[in-house]
């Protein structure tokens, strides 16, 4: 998501939480039960009179941010780590710097790639791989 969209979502969440808090804490919405009355306070009045009720909007914001920002980012990091760990010789890759090439050697944390037709080789770190453009196609062995 882009920054404008995230900012608008955050603003909307804050607005909704503040409106809900004001509506629940309004005097006409939460009548005070006197000693003579046997009716208990409504659940929202009891909630807003407690300390937990004042932290409710902040808790809601953190929960929403977890599901909108943190969780998708963690999933994306796992997918990228899996893609980098599954690199094989012959894969065509693009680095984060925009260099495109074919993998010729794979080590623990380094790759060697050929970046052009004149077979110039570059050694790069695995974390610098941005995408795998075309996975290596396994040629079928034709024994004669």
What are the residue ranges spanned by the domains of the chain? 3-85, 92-134
CB 69 within 8 A of CB 63: no
Written as six digits, the tokens of 125 are: 């770190």
**Entry pTM:** 0.57
Tens-binned pLDDT, residue by residue, of the chain (144 aa): 566 777 677 777 777 777 776 666 655 544 555 555 556 656 666 666 666 666 777 788 888 888 888 899 999 999 999 999 999 999 999 999 999 999 999 999 999 999 888 889 999 999 999 999 887 665 555 444
Written as six digits, the tokens of 102 are: 């074919």
Enumerate helices (H) and strands (E) in the chain, giving the number of each.
Answer: 4, 5
Residues whose CB is less than 8 angstroms from the CB of residue 132 and which lie 6 or more positions away in sequence, other chains included: 83, 87, 91, 92, 93
Separation between Cα atoms, residue 114 and residue 85, nearest integer Å: 19
CB 99 within 8 A of CB 122: yes
Nearest to 20 by CA among 52, 60, 63, 51: 60
pLDDT at 30: 46
Beta bridge partners of 124: 111
Using alpha carbons only, give the angle 25, 26, 27 rounded to the nearest 5 degrees. Answer: 115
| E strand or H helix that includes residue 95 | strand 92-95
Q: Is 50 helix (H, G, I), strand (E, B) or coil?
A: coil
Separation between Cα atoms, residue 91 and residue 113, nearest integer Å: 9
């Amino acid at each position: 998501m882009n920054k404008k969209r995230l900012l608008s979502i955050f603003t909307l969440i804050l607005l909704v939480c503040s409106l809900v808090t004001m509506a629940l804490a309004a005097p006409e919405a939460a009548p005070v039960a006197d000693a003579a009355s046997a009716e208990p306070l409504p659940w929202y009045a009891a909630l807003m009179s407690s300390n937990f009720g004042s932290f409710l909007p902040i808790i809601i914001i953190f929960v929403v941010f977890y599901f909108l920002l943190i969780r998708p980012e963690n999933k994306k990091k796992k997918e990228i780590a899996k893609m980098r760990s599954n690199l094989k010789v012959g894969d065509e890759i693009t680095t984060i710097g925009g260099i495109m090439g074919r993998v010729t050697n794979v080590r623990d944390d380094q790759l060697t790639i050929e970046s052009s037709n004149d077979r110039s080789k570059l050694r790069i770190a695995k974390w610098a791989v941005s995408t795998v453009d075309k996975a290596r196609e396994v040629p079928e062995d034709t024994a004669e």
